[in-house]
Amino acid sequence: MKNKKIIFHHPLPLNFDAPSGSGIRPVKMYKAFVSLGYDVDLVVGYSKERQESIKIVKAKVEAGEKYQFCYSEASTMPLALTDKDHIPRRPLMDARFFHYLKKKRIRVGVFYRDIYWRFEETVPSSPKNAIKKLLANLFYRVELFIYNLFIDKLFVPSLAMAKYLPLIQEEKFHELNPGSTPKANGANIPGSRLELLYVGGTVGFYNINLLVEVISKHFNDTINLTICTRPADASVLLQKVGSLPHNVKVVSRSGEELETLYQKADCACLYMQPTEYRAFAVPIKLFEYVSFGKPVIASANTWVGDFVREQKLGWTIEYKETELHCFLDELVAQKSSIPELSERIGKKASQYTWYKRCREVETLLGNIK
């Protein structure tokens, strides 16, 4: 197809050095669309920048420019509040833009990344913060109402998340998992100690305390656990679990330093406390683990645990101290089998690329059937 053009919408600037999933995903999807051969017109940035870009796109459409579709990556903040100070300067601008695209028969798909706001249990510290929270929730619901009116597909990390999104017609939902970039370059041969790695948050929805406790108490001489997290999260974790033994290390790494941790690891962990949130949450780190060919240790009764079991990407273990202890004993005893599993997972990584995620979007929104 010659001169394929799409619109890429995101209510924040694209951050090409983003350290977390909320910033990584928009950049990866944008780059993957470019690699598919699309000429991508960006409507990104804060509201003033988006306003200018919308004017340009509309002028092109009126002049006869043909767009295959518009793909949008939502923020974890309400659409109207993404300016730096969270003041809704142009609260209906994006809604009017999506409405315009609908009138011009340009299909629109939005990836709705998360719904922390439906699970926030923190009590506001002041009446002022309580009002802010109330207004934010109102804007979140208005955003969903806008999507239901004007967009064709609402992409979600897992279909299990859909039931928590009110106001959206069921037929609009489509599951679109995170992607990855395959980086596996041969499996490790485990040494005298098994090397486990966890990358991600350690507070709030990211409770890894039982994993830390079991390895600290029972595997001083046979397992090393490296936890790579933000410095602020590291401080909170240390306050919760107290002093750590020599075989549990907390670090903050990114880029090439993080890749070094992956190369050293034998297996990776997403062993978290099963909660209602974990029943639908899809961490981008799961697919990053797979991209490095690392078998995943996941907790049962979570979306991740089900996916790991179904895709044969590692092991899914009940969230109990005795179950984890027993499993890790067996894993240490049978660690010679890990390289073969790592090789198989490394080969499967090509099934979960960003390129393939964009192909899914293209099939649903574009002219490719």
Q: Express each pLDDT in 104-115 by its tens digit.
A: 999 999 999 988
Does 81 or 243 have the greater pLDDT score?
A: 81
Same domain, 283 and 339: yes
Same domain, 312 and 214: yes
Same domain, 43 and 62: yes
Residue 369 has what pLDDT? 42
Same domain, 123 and 165: yes
Residue 125 has what pLDDT? 64
- Please say if the pLDDT value at position 99 is more than 90: yes
- Please say if the pLDDT value at position 20 is more than 80: no
- Please say if the pLDDT value at position 327 is more than 70: yes
Domain count across the chain: 2
Alpha carbon distances (Å) from 170 to 102, 146, 166, 347: 19, 15, 10, 35
Q: What is the mean pLDDT of residues 203-207?
A: 87
Residue 362 resides in a domain: yes
Residue 119 has what pLDDT? 81
DSSP-derived secondary structure letter, 270: E
Residue 321 resides in a domain: yes
Q: What pTM does this model have? A: 0.92
Q: How many CB atoms lie within 10 A of CB 145?
A: 14
Residue 82 resides in a domain: yes
Of 75-84, 234-243, 276-285, minimum mean pLDDT range: 234-243
- Please say if the pLDDT value at position 124 is more than 80: no
- Please say if the pLDDT value at position 335 is more than 90: yes
Residue 347 has what pLDDT? 93
CATH of the domain at 275: 3.40.50.2000
Residue 181 has what pLDDT? 92
Q: What is the mean pLDDT of residues 314-325?
A: 98
Same domain, 40 and 114: yes
Q: What is the pLDDT of residues 255-296, one digit of tens each?
A: 889 999 999 999 999 999 999 999 999 999 999 999 999 999
Question: For residue 231, what are the domain limits?
Answer: 194-351
- Please say if the pLDDT value at position 148 is more than 80: yes
Q: What is the mean pLDDT of residues 130-155?
A: 94
Strands 39-44 and 70-73: unpaired
CB 354 within 8 A of CB 71: no
Q: Which residues, 6+ apart, have CB-to-CB distance to 103 below 8 Å?
A: none
Same domain, 42 and 165: yes
Same domain, 169 and 24: yes
Same domain, 171 and 267: no
Residue 121 has what pLDDT? 61
The token duo for 41 is 């017109």
Q: What is the mean pLDDT of residues 75-95?
A: 95
Residue 185 has what pLDDT? 74
Q: How many CB atoms lie within 10 A of CB 120?
A: 13
When pLDDT is cut at 50, 70 and 90, the band that residue 316 belongs to is: very high
Q: Among 233, 161, 249, 245, which Cα is nearest to 200's?
A: 233
Amino acid at 249: K
- Please say if the pLDDT value at position 22 is more than 80: no
